[in-house]
Amino acid sequence: MERVASKDEARRAAAEARAEGKTIALVPTMGALHEGHLSLVRAACERADYVVVSVFVNPTQFGPGEDFETYPRDLDADLQLLAAEGVDLVFAPSAAVMYAPDASVTVDPGSLASRWEGEIRPGHFVGVATVVTKLLSIVRPDLAYFGEKDYQQLQVVRALVRDLDLGVGVVGRPIVRDRDGLALSSRNARLSPSQRQAALAIPAALEAAAQALAWGEREARALERAMFERLAGVDDLSLDYAVVVDPDTLEPLEQVESGARVLVAARIGDIHLIDNCGLEPPATPVPEGATTRE
Ligand code: AMP
């Protein structure tokens, strides 16, 4: 496995692989790698001949007062994990390498970025869209892998690639969870044991929404109420949003349709956590007045 820190070296290594006729996959990450990241890496290794992983805590996607400084970092451990997966190239630049001091052009992430994470983290998706565009133009992969864990980010990246004709296949991969149901996240490392317990209310709220749906509820507001009830009164948890949205436009739905997405974001102390799941209404709604007996 080759490790490079400059854009030129990364560009050259990827160009060599391309000249050899290899299919190239890119997995962008901010490091502090866990099984969620590794699931993307494994999927990339299965499909592509040459796998590039970027490890870069991108300062421009953190707002003032957010956790850029305290974001977990452990490049040595990351390199060991990536070598064991058979990754070909790790691109781990510094912020000074990624952004020239006089850089002023950014990428407007469009309408999908205005709500939810975009609203509570102003500028976040401009930072994401800009760094993803830069990484894609340095590596020029055939495929780029992203997790559904960051569902809005995945949709923003899909729109970015489509609208700017970037010519890369975007592959979305399912959320990897811990045994207790919490979605894996580098930020989980910052949770105290009691905060981690509180954080379990987030997947439990998704479960409450799915349960309400399974019992025949079709009103999005009712599913959202089921989530609010599950999240209310949880110590140290402050809810940002819990919504049922169209999976493509991310606009709120009135009625739950097949493929609808539930998005949840909350802060546990100062730790921002997000989660989501897809919804499938059961084929036959439970008739009114039905009971579970017999
Ligand atoms: P990050 O390092 O948090 O920027 O994440 C890098 C990539 O890994 C993004 O595409 C994330 O969506 C994805 N990812 C992070 N956590 C998970 C998870 N638990 N399951 C699947 N993908 C994940």
Measure the CA–CA gap between 82 and 113, rounded to whole angstroms: 31
Domain with CATH 3.30.1300.10 in the chain: 186-279
pLDDT tens sequence across 167-196: 999 999 999 999 999 999 999 999 999 999
Domain with CATH 3.40.50.620 in the chain: 2-173
Q: State the average pLDDT over residues 191-203.
A: 98
Residue nearest atom 6 in ligand 1 by C-alpha distance? 29
What is the CA(42)–ligand 1 centre distance, in A? 13
Q: Can you give the pLDDT at residue 291?
A: 57
Kindly report the pTM of this predicted structure: 0.95
Q: At what angle do helices 124-139 and 151-163 cross, to 10 degrees?
A: 60
Which of 37, 39, 75, 157 should be mutated for ligand 1, with most atoms under 8 A from CB?
37
Which atom from ligand 1 is nearest to the alpha carbon of 32?
2
pLDDT tens sequence across 142-152: 999 999 999 99
Q: Can you give the pLDDT at residue 294?
A: 40
Q: Which residues line ligand 1 (CB under 6 A)?
A: 29-30, 36-37, 39-40, 146-147, 149-150, 173, 175-176, 183-186
Asked whether the predicted pLDDT for residue 288 surpasses 70, the reply is: no
Kindly state which CATH superfamily the domain 2-173 is placed in: HUPs (3.40.50.620)
Q: Reduced to 3 DSSP states, what percent helix, strand and coil does the chain have, rounded to the nearest 5?
A: 40, 20, 40
- Name the class of domain 186-279: alpha beta
- Local confidence band at 293 (pLDDT 50, 70, 90 cut-offs): very low
pLDDT tens sequence across 222-248: 999 999 999 999 999 999 999 999 999
Tokens read off for 283:
């084929």
Asked if residue 28 lies in contact with residue 168, where contact means CB atoms within 8 angstroms, the answer is no
Residue nearest atom 5 in ligand 1 by C-alpha distance? 29
Q: Can you give the pLDDT at residue 289?
A: 66
Q: Is 34 a catalytic residue?
A: no
